[in-house]
Structure 1
Amino acid sequence: MVTIKEIAQRSGYSPATVSRLLNNDQTLSVTQTTRNKILKVANQLGYWQDRKKPAIAPSIALLFRMNNQEQLQDSYFSSLKDALLETIEDAGMRVEVFQYAEELIDNAEDFQGFLCVGDDQVELSIFKRLHRLLPAGVFVDTDPLPHLFDSVQPNLTMTVRDALEQFADAGYQRIAFIGGVGPRIGKHPRRRDSREAAFKIVAEEMGFRQADVFSDGAFSVLNGSQLGEKAAKKYGDQLPEGFLIASDTMSVGVLQAFNDAGVIVPRDTSIISINNSDISEYVSPPLSTYNINQQVISRMALNILKDAIANPKRPHVHAMVDTNLIVRESFKLK
């Protein structure tokens, strides 16, 4: 069994300080760095394995790797950030937000773990450095580095499968997908987005007569408009019966392009979108879209992170959260 003396020797603090901290002495006054160092050593040595864990809330970082322009392009991530911060606050935990991994690396000793949102242009060497200093980390909504960190994601593969089943049940045989590109890992090419990959596989499995893909650029209103315009020009008055669009943000742009081309939804074609963002019920027509429960994702991410902090030698965990379809005017169930 790990002793107070062992933790004191490894961390460089007195046994009295270590004992008072690990027993959650509210009168103890130490710096955040001291607190985190002692707790890290205790977790690394497995101090809690044979003991009841006290209510010592870890200090964590939120690595939100998106700038203001990207947040304006896709409100989904802005609301995800709010959900995470609310969940952390409700848990009574200290959190600090960083935009750059290098900045978190410089301040790693102040934290016991981190949550990360946004993974475009991930530099593997930088995150390997972060892993050495702060191995307890959870990527939220994405999973670019499964060999280094845990993750929690919406189950987009099942979302796409369900959407195609909805189209099939409605008797549609000609469908199309509009989406963006996946993240870049270091200098490697951008990965194909999981929604696009699932669309191609499932559409072939289900035997749709036509299942075209329009996929390029960012998940933004502007890119949605450009891809919507491209689709409208390609098909003319022979539009597919339904479009699956990767995000509500892109769907707004597609609706704008369709409106400019004289395409009326759902008279001429139907749309199913993904995210159920705030704007989805206010566009014309209101979007049928899959709801991603960000509160559930946030709670799972925080619980997984706390477990990773307390059990640093356990295998990595990767969790999926199912979505549900909110039916509105752009596509109606039959």
Structure 2
Amino acid sequence: MASIKEIALISGFSQSTVSRLLNHDPALSVSDATRNKILATAKKLHYPLPQTDTKKTYQVAVFFALNPQREIEDVYYYDLRRSIVQHAKDEYIDVTFIKDLKNKNLTKFDGAIAVGYFDDDQLMQLHQAFAHILFIDSNPEPEHFSSVQPNLEYATTKAVNLFIKRRLTNIGIVTGQYWDVNTPSHLIVRLDSRLNYFKNIMTDAGLYNDELLFKAHDFTVSSGREIGTEIANQLKTGLALDALFIASDSLAIGVLDALNEINPELAQALSIISINDSPSAAYTQPPLTTFHIDIDYLVRVSFNKLYDMITFHNQSQEITLVTPTLVYRDTFTKND
């Protein structure tokens, strides 16, 4: 357990002030900022506090700019929403999911969380409406917004380097596309950053082949099946393909389903690494090697950062990257 001395050292206040505050000295008079900083420091150091002393309850707006049907089909975003709701309950934070940025009651919120795509006008509205806002999973404007997101560049780099280390040279990628929920379905709003990372690494290695780029409609299992069928057909006509880096488990599950349906040997022959480590990844045929993104940790860090932004009126912007961990299974075993 942390000591009063440690809390004082980290928070920057005297041991006397910290001790009197944590022991509820009625004669102590400190500012809200001082009180909040000491309590926040004590909580981070796991100093035992009554629940009423840990955090002030804040009102937080959550903007989830994702197509509801695609959210259901993409387990990553489904789990992200679930984790936001659960963590808010655990931390006694009031969250309200809002669809309309023109909502007249935004002034009642202390801060906001945003997930998904927002156009330029919407980003301006968010920036103007909230002094404290945090993006989870991406950051559309780092100069205006802070974010907590998985380190996809690390995952992409590690996957490709592992393939190359195994002397696999015909390396492909299966990626998806992001769509704006507020505009016609033909409008693509953002390409997958993993594709840019992949192209850079493969080009530097002299291995990039545009024929091995497979671009799905989105990140769902059904889109993965379509790409899997396309890959199987091209393999029949002599396409050289040793390995696939797949942008999400949902896509990878669809690809494996299609390959197994057409010819199970195709699924066994390819080395595959994906991202997300969804519950289904362990039960594909063969079981899927994938990067585990700890969504609950991602959300917990996000709430802590937003709380600090609100409490200490922090106006500086920063990007916090959470490093995923590779879980080895049969599509790319650790000791091949």
Q: Does TM, scored on the shorter chain, surpass 0.5?
A: yes
User: Contact 1:62–1:97 (CA<8 Å) still a contact in 2?
Assistant: yes
Shift of residue 307, structure 1, vs aligned partner: 2.1
Aligned to 1:201: 200
Matched, 1:280 2:285: no
User: Contact 1:152–1:297 (CA<8 Å) still a contact in 2?
Assistant: yes
Shift of residue 210, structure 1, vs aligned partner: 4.7
Partners of 1:332 and 1:64 in 2: CA distance: 36
Change (3 A) 1:291 1:323: same
Aligned to 1:112: 110
User: Contact 2:61–2:96 (CA<8 Å) still a contact in 1?
Assistant: yes
Aligned to 1:66: 66
Aligned to 2:44: none
Matched, 1:304 2:305: yes
Aligned residue pairs total 284
Shift of residue 62, structure 1, vs aligned partner: 2.1
Aligned to 2:3: none
Partners of 1:327 and 1:177 in 2: CA distance: 18
TM-score, structure 1 length as denominator?
0.77
User: Contact 2:216–2:224 (CA<8 Å) still a contact in 1?
Assistant: no
1:52 is matched with which residue: 35, 38, 44? 35
Shift of residue 285, structure 1, vs aligned partner: 1.4
What secondary structure is seen at the aligned counterpart in 2 of 1:106? Answer: coil
Change (3 A) 1:209 1:124: closer
Unaligned stretches of 5+ residues in structure 1: 1-22, 24-46
Shift of residue 321, structure 1, vs aligned partner: 0.6
1:181 is matched with which residue: 164, 167, 177? 177
What secondary structure is seen at the aligned counterpart in 2 of 1:102? Answer: coil
Unaligned stretches of 5+ residues in structure 2: 1-20, 22-30, 40-54
What secondary structure is seen at the aligned counterpart in 1 of 2:194? Answer: helix
Aligned to 1:92: 92
AA at the equivalent of 1:129? Q
AA at the equivalent of 2:69? Q
Map 1:151-190; keep pairs closer than 5 Å.
Answer: 151-182=147-178, 190=189
Partners of 2:218 and 2:267 in 1: CA distance: 25
Shift of residue 89, structure 1, vs aligned partner: 1.7
What secondary structure is seen at the aligned counterpart in 2 of 1:258? Answer: helix
Aligned to 2:219: 219
User: Contact 1:288–1:329 (CA<8 Å) still a contact in 2?
Assistant: yes
Matched, 1:251 2:269: no
Which deviates further from its counterpart, 169-178 or 87-96? 87-96
What secondary structure is seen at the aligned counterpart in 2 of 1:151? Answer: strand
1:144 is matched with which residue: 140, 152, 170? 140
Which deviates further from its counterpart, 184-193 or 160-169? 184-193
Aligned to 1:232: 232
Aligned-residue Cα RMSD (Å) equals 2.5
What secondary structure is seen at the aligned counterpart in 1 of 2:228? Answer: helix
What secondary structure is seen at the aligned counterpart in 1 of 2:141? Answer: coil
Aligned to 2:126: 130
User: Contact 1:115–1:137 (CA<8 Å) still a contact in 2?
Assistant: yes
Partners of 2:265 and 2:215 in 1: CA distance: 22
Change (3 A) 1:209 1:84: closer
Shift of residue 247, structure 1, vs aligned partner: 0.5
Percent identical? 26
What secondary structure is seen at the aligned counterpart in 1 of 2:315? Answer: coil
| Superposition misfits of 4+ residues, deviation over 6 angstroms | 185-188
User: Contact 1:265–1:271 (CA<8 Å) still a contact in 2?
Assistant: no
User: Contact 1:135–1:149 (CA<8 Å) still a contact in 2?
Assistant: no
Partners of 2:150 and 2:260 in 1: CA distance: 31
Shift of residue 312, structure 1, vs aligned partner: 3.7
TM-score, structure 2 length as denominator?
0.77
Which deviates further from its counterpart, 214-223 or 182-191? 182-191
Aligned to 1:290: 291
Shift of residue 240, structure 1, vs aligned partner: 1.0
User: Contact 1:144–1:185 (CA<8 Å) still a contact in 2?
Assistant: no
AA at the equivalent of 1:292? I
Partners of 2:195 and 2:251 in 1: CA distance: 14
Shift of residue 142, structure 1, vs aligned partner: 1.4
Change (3 A) 1:226 1:83: same
Shift of residue 74, structure 1, vs aligned partner: 0.3
Partners of 1:106 and 1:70 in 2: CA distance: 28
